[in-house]
Amino acid sequence: MTDVMADPRDPRPLIGEPLALDLLNTRWAGRPVNDLLAGVEGYGIWLSSAGLGDRCAADQAGLAAVRQAREAILLAAQDAREQGELSAAARDGLDAVLAHGRIRRTAGPGGAEDRVEPDRPEWLAPWLAADDFLTLLGQGASRVKQCAHEACILHFFDVSQNGRRRWCRMAVCGNRAKAARHYVKARG
């Protein structure tokens, strides 16, 4: 997703993760939790930031479908993080989203071409996100992470060489944790 320009209206603190995790990051810390997908307008902003604004309509049907995909991906991410594999419920949730589309392979001028064909237009973005999550799992389930800061709920794909990244953003969550540790140490 790094080659896509984020929508300037997008208020999220972390943008640009792979599509599946970018979808999870439509919720971020706050009281109450901030949710970009609270309405159709926010869904349109997410589609635009994800580079899908010209391929998907921001409507009520699409919003409902993408919320279902977000919940399925969230459960699968939690399972991957906590158990190292997906539970039957997580697999069923992802499969329910993926059942709304398929990849059609055709012979194109330059060789094989793959095209995603959703059964209904509102399922394109959710299907792409669920498919992307499976791709991330294939690259290493242990690299799908949630920020280690206790107040942060953002997710990221750890591309560090040693796989030891802990924070969604070192400049924010990492520094907050370091400052808290320093404060405790200085008082003690």
The predicted-structure confidence for 133-184, as pLDDT tens digits, reads as follows 999 999 999 999 999 998 899 999 999 988 899 999 876 686 655 555 545 6
The length of the chain, given as a count of residues: 188
- Residue 163 · residue 140 · CB < 8 Å: yes
Rounded Cα–Cα distance for residues 180 and 153 (Å): 18
Residue whose structure tokens are 């009281």: 31
Inter-residue contact 69 to 94 (CB < 8 Å): no
Whole-prediction pTM value? 0.89
Structure tokens at 128: 């792409």
Q: Which of 171, 173, 137 is nearest to 157 (CA)?
A: 137
Nearest to 127, CA basis, from 157, 94, 92: 94
3-state helix, strand, coil in the chain (%, to 5): 50, 15, 35
Peptide bond into 118 cis (omega under 30): no
Element holding 175 (H helix, E strand):
helix 175-187
pLDDT digits (tens, 9 = 90+) for 48-92: 999 999 999 999 999 999 999 999 999 999 999 999 899 999 999
Banded model confidence at residue 4, pLDDT cuts 50, 70, 90: confident
Domain boundaries, the chain: 19-141
DSSP conformation class of 7: P
Which residues contact residue 31 at a Cβ distance below 8 angstroms, ignoring those fewer than 6 apart? Answer: none
